[in-house]
Structure 1
Amino acid sequence: MSATAPASNAQLERWQRFRIGRNAALAADHGWLTLTSFQWLESAPAAVELIPGLWSTDGTTATLTASATEGLTLVDTGAPVDGTISATLQDEESLMWVQFGGSDGTEVVVELAMRADKYAIRTRDNSSPVLTEFDAVPTFEYNPDWVLEGRFEAYPEPVDVPIGTANPLVDGVHRSVGEVVFRAPGLPHEIRLHAEAEKLGALTVTFHDETNGNTTDEWRKLAVSRPRPDGSVVLDFNRAINYPSAFTPYGTCPMPVAGNSIDVAVEAGEKLPAGRIV
């Protein structure tokens, strides 16, 4: 790659604001840095690790039975759980359902989730060292060479592509709406990445590159602004970020579509979180 062109002050300021917002979002109460367990629910009511009460599912509905003395309350109302409650979700949905612990009874939130058509629960504990010791995500230095022009080639209709996830027991589906096409520094050929639709016409690409497992996690993702009327897009890999599974073993984050790889080291964006070894 040729020598890196210097970044403008405006570019650096925009990137620095992005990094401040990103780190603040990660450090939010009961956010991704607070995950401390992932457990599947069984058919018979049973105790689970780290959480009071008896938990179960009939495959359609999740059920919790607890007494008021166990200290569980509903997240949305604060009402104590005293007896049996239930909830129903669709696949890939989540519900911040009950809470307990700490001086105000809200230190730990229990998330009910439906993954691979099965019910699971995850604990989100604000006392988790991953959160309390978090400062910021390490990143490469801002590199304007990794702000690339490309184009979006939409499919006539979205295509559902089977994928794996960070949890080997959970399969996923990537709804590809088209491909983002661009040239990467140091490569003579075009790169094509499957893209997924986001709100207001924006796109997300999930990708591998040659830094994975060394300076970065096994895969990362990049938000791409809504394509211009002519289909052109800008890919700023300085804004490539980790999925939650880079910070916690309890994520079910989607892997890239097979072939969504950049065959060069993308030395831009987020690195492995501090303390992580791949």
Structure 2
Amino acid sequence: MTTQTPEITRLTERWDRFRSGRTAALAADHGWLTLTSFHWLPATPSPVEGVPGLWSATSTTASLTAAPEENLALVSSGEPVLGTLTATLTNEDSLMWVRSGTVVVELGMRANRYMIRTRDSASPTLTNFQGVPFFDYNPEVVFDGVFERYPEPRSVDIATANPEVPGVARLVGDVVFEHLGTTYRLSAEEGPLDSLILTFFDETNNVTSSHWRKLELTKPRPDNSVVVDFNRAINYPSAFTDFGTCPAPVPANRLDLPMEAGERDPRRS
């Protein structure tokens, strides 16, 4: 049994706030819990199942043609879509483009192809959501680590949650820490505000946790030290929905142990 010291109490209170913020973010009206379909856009104007209008794309431009009675409106302004509308994105970009009732249609480019995803605020995944299941807080999986930056970033081809969408990880360095006498080294991508993103496998995957998870670390200190707190490991959107295109870890980012901390698989709870 872990003794409840003042330091552990402080850490668990911070973790409780983190969990509350995470739940609130996931419960957004058209957030990740509302994805209900994924479609590649065809080359010629065609209907798409479950979405009004005629949709198409070239290698550079996506197009939508809608009649007044189809009641499509721009998300950005609320103006009705009348006639043909076009948009141009770069790879990996997304745009919450048009709305139909409770559904927002997200336009995106993945693997240099245009796709649309529907986000329905009436989705049962959202309306039945009561929080993500998670392991109990464990102070023994909070590690002092060191960030070792590469001389230059490295681009590595990776898989994603969608077999039709290849991905690329832009790695900036390794996070190194020790646990039970073993040294672990996980490659990191750079996140917002110079944070570090660790996408990793462990032995709980597809048992009690989802197919893989990620952990965001705050910006390294001036001496390159970092805190690696696996209690904050979270699911990618693809843990909740079949319509995510989330990046898989690079193969080397594998912990040969069950990391029973952070978020569990929401579809196994």
Per the normalisation by structure 1, the TM-score is 0.94
1:214 to 201, 207, 210: 207
Cα shift at 1:4: 4.4
Q: Which runs of 5+ in 1 are unaligned?
A: 102-106
Q: Could you tell me how far apart the structure 2 residues matched to 1:157 and 1:66 are?
A: 47
Residue 146 of structure 1: aligned partner: 141
Q: Could you tell me how far apart the structure 1 residues matched to 2:144 and 2:24 are?
A: 29
1:124-176 deviations in Å (ceiling 9; x for gaps): 00010000000010010000001100100000110001100000000000000
Contact 1:26 1:32 in 2 (8 A): yes
Cα shift at 1:116: 0.2
Q: Does 1:167 align with 2:158?
A: no
1:95-134 pair list within 5 angstroms: 95-101=95-101, 107-134=102-129
Amino acid aligned to 1:75: V
Give the match's secondary structure for 1:211.
Answer: coil
Give the match's secondary structure for 1:140.
Answer: coil
Q: Could you tell me how far apart the structure 2 residues matched to 1:190 and 1:241 are?
A: 23
Equivalent pairs: percent with the same residue? 59
Cα shift at 1:276: 3.7
1:81-140 deviations in Å (ceiling 9; x for gaps): 110000000000000000011xxxxx1100000000000000000010000000010010
Amino acid aligned to 1:175: R
Q: Could you tell me how far apart the structure 1 residues matched to 2:268 and 2:58 are?
A: 37
Q: Which runs of 5+ in 2 are unaligned?
A: none
Cα shift at 1:226: 0.8
Cα shift at 1:6: 3.9
Residue 34 of structure 2: aligned partner: 34
Cα shift at 1:208: 0.4
Q: Could you tell me how far apart the structure 2 residues matched to 1:68 and 1:157 are?
A: 52
Contact 1:99 1:109 in 2 (8 A): yes
Query: After TM superposition, what 4+ stretches of structure 1 lie above 4 angstroms from structure 2?
Result: none
1:239 to 228, 232, 238: 232
Residue 85 of structure 1: aligned partner: 85
Amino acid aligned to 2:197: T
Q: Could you tell me how far apart the structure 1 residues matched to 2:103 and 2:235 are?
A: 24
Q: Does 1:57 align with 2:57?
A: yes
Q: Could you tell me how far apart the structure 2 residues matched to 1:116 and 1:276 are?
A: 30
Give the paired residue count: 267
Contact 1:37 1:122 in 2 (8 A): yes
Q: Could you tell me how far apart the structure 1 residues matched to 2:224 and 2:69 are?
A: 59
Cα shift at 1:189: 2.1
Give the match's secondary structure for 2:238.
Answer: helix
Q: Could you tell me how far apart the structure 2 residues matched to 1:183 and 1:128 are?
A: 42
Give the match's secondary structure for 1:209.
Answer: coil
1:242-253 pair list within 5 angstroms: 242-253=235-246
Q: Could you tell me how far apart the structure 2 residues matched to 1:39 and 1:258 are?
A: 28
Give the match's secondary structure for 1:81.
Answer: coil
Residue 193 of structure 1: aligned partner: 186
Contact 1:158 1:175 in 2 (8 A): yes
Amino acid aligned to 1:82: L
Q: Could you tell me how far apart the structure 2 residues matched to 1:6 and 1:257 are?
A: 37
Residue 175 of structure 2: aligned partner: 180
Root-mean-square deviation (CA, aligned residues, Å) is 1.1
Q: Could you tell me how far apart the structure 2 residues matched to 1:124 and 1:241 are?
A: 21
Give the match's secondary structure for 1:127.
Answer: coil
